[in-house]
Amino acid sequence: MNNNEVSRQPREIVMPGDLLDGDKLKPGAGTYVSGGNIYAAVLGIKSVKSNYVNIIPLGGRYIPCVGDSVIGKVEDIGPSNWLIDINSPYPAPLHVNEVPWRVEFGDTARYMNVGDVILAKVLMVDETMRVQVTMKDQGLRKLTGGQIVEIAHSKVPRVIGKSGSMIQMIKGYTNCRIFVGQNGRIWLDGEVDNIMHAIKAIQMIDEDAHSFGLTEKVKAYLETVPAQAEQKTE
């Protein structure tokens, strides 16, 4: 092995139904509980973080997990809720009690319409994969303007980077406001050219997420981007 290479622990790939070891671990994304044991629900890579065992899917659709920040699109409206598309096989109702406005029964369309984009959080996921989302938390909001790009949700941790380093670098070089949803949707706002540069950097990560030297490659690209505008304040 080259002296400059860093040795890494082999990644454990699991199949649906595989028992996940760890008596003190809690079930996370891509898992289910049966008989007091935690099992893999999808084909993917086992990951343990903050006492939660998660399965990072090898492809496939986003599987929601409680606490995930997601970028959703309103796809239907009812008298007391909105149905939110969170880029998942499972629909996610947003009840009027879970928004930062006082909404009267039947008055939902005054506040959000089909096609509107929101930053939300997964509030509940039950054993049958019924999902609920909320906007009643700090920073959650309706997103106006901007542009959305979609990537493989399994690449989101790489886009964010260690302690947020990668996404902060992209923001710094492009002067864009960027929200990253754990469902693989990313919302960007800023000068048009800067948004295009940010999207290019994100696409580089999406396409080459597992390669060595990716941070340096993205930085080298961003260093060619001229600063065109002051960063927008949130």
The residue ranking higher by pLDDT, 24 or 1, is: 24
pLDDT band of 31, cuts 50, 70, 90: confident
Contact 184/156 with Cβ under 8 angstroms?
yes
Comparing 81 with 7, the larger pLDDT belongs to 81
Is residue 44 over pLDDT 90? no
Residue 169 has what pLDDT? Answer: 97
Arithmetic mean of pLDDT, 30-55: 83
> Which pLDDT does position 55 carry in this prediction?
82
Average pLDDT, the chain: 87
Evaluate whether 13-57 and 147-222 have a shared fold. Answer: no
Looking up tokens 């981007």 gives: 225
pLDDT of residue 10: 53
Strands 81-85 and 92-95: antiparallel
Query: Is the CB of residue 204 less than 8 Å from the CB of residue 158?
Result: no
More confident residue, 179 or 14: 179
- Average of pLDDT values for 19-31? 82
Helix, strand, or coil (residue 108): helix
- In degrees rounded to 5, what are phi and psi of residue 49? -150, 130
Count Cβ atoms below 10 Å from residue 47 Cβ, excluding itself.
16
Q: Is 90 exceeded by the pLDDT of residue 7?
A: no
**Helix (H) / strand (E) containing 35:** none
Class of domain 13-57: mainly beta
Domain 69-143 classification at class level: mainly beta
pLDDT tens digits, one per residue of 127-166: 777 899 999 999 999 999 999 999 988 889 999 998 999 9
Q: Residue 11 has what pLDDT?
A: 65
What are the residue ranges spanned by the domains of the chain?
13-57, 69-143, 147-222
The answer on pLDDT for 170 being more than 60 is: yes
% of the chain residues with pLDDT over 70: 90
Predicted confidence (pLDDT) at residue 4 exceeds the cutoff of 70: no
Domain covering 147-222 in this structure, CATH number: 3.30.1370.10
In this structure, what token pair is assigned to residue 181? 């949803």
Q: What is the pLDDT of residues 56-86, one digit of tens each?
A: 776 667 888 899 999 999 999 999 999 999 9
Q: Assign 233 a pLDDT band (cuts: 50, 70, 90).
A: very low
